[in-house]
Amino acid sequence: DAGVTQSPTHLIKTRGQHVTLRCSPISGHKSVSWYQQVLGQGPQFIFQYYEKEERGRGNFPDRFSARQFPNYSSELNVNALLLGDSALYLCASSYGQGDGYTFGSGTRLTVV
Amino acid sequence: AQSVTQLGSHVSVSEGALVLLRCNYSSSVPPYLFWYVQYPNQGLQLLLKYTTGATLVKGINGFEAEFKKSETSFHLTKPSAHMSDAAEYFCAVSSRSGTYKYIFGTGTRLKVLA
């Protein structure tokens, strides 16, 4: 079975630009979450979606948005990019709350 | 609010020696607990989890962890370190209800010496 797939794997953007990151969960998983991991730190929660509804949002500015599609795939959008948005963005999917998330390999975003 | 503390940002052990990575959590109710491993330039891989039942949890690659409610700890151990265990390890907690989000610790980088 395919794991959680994320695209693109690497991305370089200029300050002020917009970026869209994509995630396909494991088949059958209806919960998708996004995390930001800055170098040298643990991942920070950005969003959780379940059955296409936002179930939680972390302490991130409104420049960050996301959505989940009917096939449970998800997009993370970031507007007006700042240098500080440079990070590894991880998508994770799960069947249920106690099952443990399966993480993708991430998208490495560099803002210059 | 929940929080996770991982003592020791860097741990070095000799190959074949015991691995002990420490994790303490703060939560008003017993949470779900997880250990993940991250190899360079990769995502996180689930090592083991505690949700309910037996407090000694066995995971992949010979790792295990014990949930100690009285000490609010969930330390990760492995009897004999292997070179391939060198990686970053993260402890995480999650509420049993509400938003399904992880609170991660800051990570412990394990170095295995030949």
* Report for A95-99, B1-5, B65-69: range of highest mean pLDDT: B65-69
Q: Do B94 and A31 touch (CB under 8 A)?
A: no
> What residues in B contact A35, CB-CB < 8 Å?
102
* 3-state secondary structure (DSSP) of residue A100: coil
* 3-state secondary structure (DSSP) of residue A66: strand
Looking at CA atoms only, how far is residue B41 from chain A in angstroms? 8
Spell out the residues 6+ positions from residue B54 whose beta carbon is closer than 8 angstroms to its own: none
> What residues in B contact A55, CB-CB < 8 Å?
99-100
Q: Do B100 and A102 touch (CB under 8 A)?
A: no
> What residues in B contact A34, CB-CB < 8 Å?
none
List, for residues B85-94, the tens digit of each pLDDT value: 999 999 999 9
Percent of chain A residues topping a pLDDT of 70:
99
Looking at CA atoms only, how far is residue A42 from chain B in angstroms? 5
List, for residues A55-100, the tens digit of each pLDDT value: 999 999 999 999 999 999 999 999 999 999 999 999 999 987 778 8
Angstrom distance (rounded) from CA A54 to CA A24: 17
First to last CA, chain A: 37
